[in-house]
């Protein structure tokens, strides 16, 4: 049972433009959501999070939006840079600390 879903396996964007990565979830009880970034041959690294009581969280070029009624969140990267090329995973917490459900990932390519 996939609790967190990312329906776009890949996305290509021109440098300087906006990248929008999407994620859907099924459990309305999730307290917060995360985005992780993964480069080849490296482990995922934490990027940004959002509490379920907020609808937006911003950190520099990265903004996450949460639409609870639609059970949907999105990660916006503005402006996109070639170094942002990576696989992005959304995640939601399991029952206890630092145990997560991950989506299947979206591979972002930023074209110079």
* Binding footprint of another protein on the chain (CB under 8 A): 4, 6, 9, 32, 34, 41-46, 49, 89, 91, 93-105
Least Å from the CB of residue 112 to another protein: 26
Given the complex with another protein, which of 15 and 104 has the nearer CB atom? 104
Classified as helix, coil or strand, 84 is helix
Least Å from the CB of residue 65 to another protein: 18
Q: What span, in angstroms and rounded, lies between the C-alpha atoms of 89 and 18?
A: 18
Nearest alpha-carbon partner for 73 in 87, 94, 59, 52: 52
Q: What span, in angstroms and rounded, lies between the C-alpha atoms of 19 and 93?
A: 25
Least Å from the CB of residue 45 to another protein: 7
Given the complex with another protein, which of 40 and 112 has the nearer CB atom? 40
Q: What span, in angstroms and rounded, lies between the C-alpha atoms of 93 and 37?
A: 17
Given the complex with another protein, which of 53 and 95 has the nearer CB atom? 95
Q: What does DSSP assign to residue 10?
A: E
Least Å from the CB of residue 64 to another protein: 13
């Amino acid at each position: 049972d996939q609790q967190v879903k990312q329906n776009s396996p890949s996305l290509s964007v021109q440098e300087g433009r906006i990248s929008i990565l999407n994620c859907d979830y099924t459990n309305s009880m999730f307290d917060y959501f995360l985005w992780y970034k993964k480069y080849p041959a490296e482990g995922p690294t934490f990027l940004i999070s959002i509490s379920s009581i907020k609808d937006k969280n911003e950190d520099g070029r990265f903004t996450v939006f949460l639409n609870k009624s639609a059970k949907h969140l999105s990660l916006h990267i503005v402006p996109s840079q070639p170094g942002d090329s990576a696989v992005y995973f959304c995640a939601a917490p399991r029952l206890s600390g630092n145990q997560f459900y991950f989506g299947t990932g979206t591979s972002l390519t930023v074209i110079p």
